[in-house]
Amino acid sequence: MTAEKALPLGNGKAAEEARESEAPGGSGSSGGAAPARDPRDKRDKAVHERGHWNNKVEFVLSVAGEIIGLGNVWRFPYLCYKNGGGEVIGRRRGVTLHPTFCRRRVLAISDGIEHIGNLRWELALCLLAAWTICYFCIWKGTKSTGKVVYVTATFPYIMLLILLIRGVTLPGASEGIKFYLYPDLSRLSDPQVWVDAGTQIFFSYAICLGCLTALGSYNNYNNNCYRDCIMLCCLNSGTSFVAGFAIFSVLGFMAYEQGVPIAEVAESGPGLAFIAYPKAVTMMPLSPLWATLFFMMLIFLGLDSQFVCVESLVTAVVDMYPKVFRRGYRRELLILALSVISYFLGLVMLTEGGMYIFQLFDSYAASGMCLLFVAIFECICIGWVYGSNRFYDNIEDMIGYRPPSLIKWCWKIVTPGICAGIFIFFLVKYKPLKYNNVYTYPAWGYGIGWLMALSSMLCIPLWICIKVWKTQGTLPEKLQKLTTPSTDLKMRGKLGVSPRMVTVNDCDAKLKSDGTIAAITEKETHF
């Protein structure tokens, strides 16, 4: 025996009431109980309140703006130079007027971190402008961020392409490119090479910072996250590689014009972007134009990374306390408070000795061993505690298929093993930081750096100890409870379809006059 039942579709009030009447115990049942609200409606309402991307392009551009940052322009090319032909650095380093003038007069950098100096008010105004722009870029969540990235994420690519074409057409560019690409295979035995490679991957891809997780959380549940990962990884690596051509082709031109080896014109870290490259630009025709385009590219790269990092922090706080910050303008006030606090914390880096403090943050707090340490625990939690097979089930539920099994073994063995090896190498072969390979920090300066590093790394073991102490039972029972995944994580996609849900392909659809679906007729078979 076969019976037909019409299931109204749509998001309107009539459709919602009709769905409620069809639910067990609803108004349409003989029991006369109160209508049962569809849990999917509650979930859709929560998603609407939280926010979501309007389309896939906004998400891709937001992630691209985060992972394509300043590290692709100054960090990756320099690391290639350092670990390829960089062994000659320091052999012939003369003192020219231009770097001295830039450091002492233009940048006003002091002799060391001991001489903090005065605050540069013009830089303070620039930082204020940056945080003001950052605030208005994210104050409405994905509604504002999704529109801003159309400019901030695409403009750097256009500028990078223009600078690349201009750079490779300069005389001497080929020598700079050869220097950039020349491999020194003997350096592979140096642990520092692997440390630099590992930290660059984490720094460039924003891994273990929460940024990618926060951006991805605004996607639809069935978004193909596996395909996005592959695509964005290729995009990031390709951009870094192309940026090296754009940078070192110009440095090769500068070495050609001065008649000196390229090792003498290359700078490390920010010096590559703010000293060496601008100096090379002054030797080019229409130098003001190229300098303007280059620094505009740097500004957009920095702004993208800045507001995405703030957005990830705001997302985490709001998701932890939704009843507090999803009311009125509390989310906007939270962003304002974070922006103001970050601005005042950043003022210390705008003093005459601020560059030395910036290098401490960059080398100890923001990248390197901290991210490696966090990555090891993340892999252990996902691969072993939560379970790689369970995580694969979640991915299959979202995208409809299981990724290659190789990725599962990377989570469980390969990635944590490599991260642990690099982390141990870093500790064994640790060399104190030197600013521009010349200035040695005082002992208390290194102490501040290690305190910043430990402030993030110690949070994991400290929180483990707190949870173990608060959990009742013997130690084995506590560990068993804390390492057992929660059972209330329900599937929402293909694997989580309830018996009442049916596919449109197995049903008859009734259409309105305009072609839209009015209802689906489900055929139920009774035995």
> Would you list which residues are annotated within the binding site for Na(+)?
204, 236, 301, 304-305
The alpha helices in 139-224, defined as continuous H runs, are 142-152, 155-168, 173-181, 191-205, 211-216
Could you tell me if 436 and 267 are in contact, meaning their C-beta atoms sit under 8 angstroms apart? yes
Positive or negative, the CA dihedral 35, 40, 41, 46 is positive
Could you tell me if 50 and 244 are in contact, meaning their C-beta atoms sit under 8 angstroms apart? no
Residue type, 185: L
Report residue 335 as tokens: 């962003």
Three-class HEC string of 497-511: CCCCCCCHHHCEEEE
Short-list 363, 340, 368, CA closest to 113 = 363
Please give the C-alpha separations between residue 110 and each of 125, 345, 439, in angstroms, as whole numbers.
20, 20, 11
Instruction: Report CA Rg, the chain.
Output: 28
Contacts of 85 (CB under 8 A, 6+ apart): 179, 182, 184, 262, 263
Summarize the annotated binding site as residue ranges.
Answer: 204, 236, 301, 304-305
Which pairs count as long-range contacts for 103-109, CB under 8 Å and 24+ apart, including other chains? 107/274, 107/355, 108/352, 109/352, 109/353, 109/355
